[in-house]
Structure 1
Amino acid sequence: MDALQAALRVAGSGLAAQSARLRVVSENMANVQSTGTVPGADPYRRKTVTFASELDQLSGMDLVQVKDVGTDPTAFSVEHDPGNPAADSDGNVKMPNVNMIAEMTDMRETNRSYEADLQVIKQSRDLIAMTIDLLKGSS
């Protein structure tokens, strides 16, 4: 039973970490066109998530945690858009360093990891229920 509870804790930590990652990916996608508000201002900068392994004192297992939500140092692209309020004197606007293909890939990977963790939780819950039923039957 302890192994099943440990599996639940590990999968639960994975769910929490992937939820945080999905929030960051969603924010990046929502801001793919968010430029600065004044001429020459920097636009939205893509956010990144870093995970870390953390020892859980109760189970003795390594759990995944969000270590940091940082920013991507990749350079901004520049587009010519003289009508944009963020355009400089030459009519150029700095655009966010968000790549939609990369974000979609991250979203797909995050979704698959989340589903795998959810499946572990479902299977562990079913095994715990079966164990309890077996213990009830032997009494």
Structure 2
Amino acid sequence: MSLTSVFNIAGTGMSAQSTRLNTISSNIANAETVSSSIDQTYRARHPVFATVFQNAQGGNNGSLFADKDQSGAGVQVMGIVEDQSSLMARYEPNHPAANEAGYVYYPNVNVVEEMADMISASRAFQTNVEMMNTAKQMMQRVLTLGQ
């Protein structure tokens, strides 16, 4: 793996964590929305990540271990899936969005879990930034070796 591929790997990681932060913020923003029907109620969304390998990007870069070890070339977001856990039904007959039985449905968003996930995504993003900065410093030091 070359030093320049570190930028590509960290960049894909930053992009994936940015998608993760966007879905978390959407979940938190819709945590208290209500609906009178299960079908119309907001469901929590989560991104699905997958590793991109060197072979999938068109080459093994001459590695002796290409057929045995595949080195990662980054991460990609495969899609965003809805959480299928049960929604919270509350009996609130005076609520304007209540159905005929008096129930309103709240999303399956746990704000505490979302906040913990947000901290994790933010720190993963910061780690990728630090990796890019370290690689940049290493490249700058390599350029000064001949002086």
Query: Scaled by the length of structure 1, what TM-score is found?
Result: 0.86
Deviation at 1:59, TM superposition (A): 7.6
- Higher helix content, 1 or 2: 1
TM-score, normalised to structure 2, is: 0.82
Query: Which residue number corresponds to residue 14 of structure 2?
Result: 15
Q: Which residue of 2 aligns with 1:95?
A: 106
Distance 1:75 1:91 in 2: 18
Partner secondary structure for residue 134 of structure 1: coil
Cα separation, 1, equivalents of 2:128 and 2:59: 17
> 5+ unaligned residues in a row in structure 1: which ranges?
none
Check if 1:75 corresponds to 2:86.
yes
Q: Please give the root-mean-square deviation of Cα atoms over the aligned residues, in Å.
A: 1.8
User: Identity over the aligned pairs, expressed in percent?
Assistant: 29
Show structure 1 runs of 4+ deviating over 6 A. none
Give distance in 2, aligned partners of 1:58 and 1:134: 32
Instruction: Quote how far apart the aligned CAs of 1:40 are.
Output: 2.7
Gaps of 5+ in 2: 61-71
Task: Indicate whether 1:109 and 2:120 are aligned.
Answer: yes
Whole-angstrom CA distance in 1 between matches of 2:2 and 2:108: 44
Q: Choose from 42, 53, 56 the match for 1:44.
A: 42
How many residues end up aligned between the 2 structures? 133
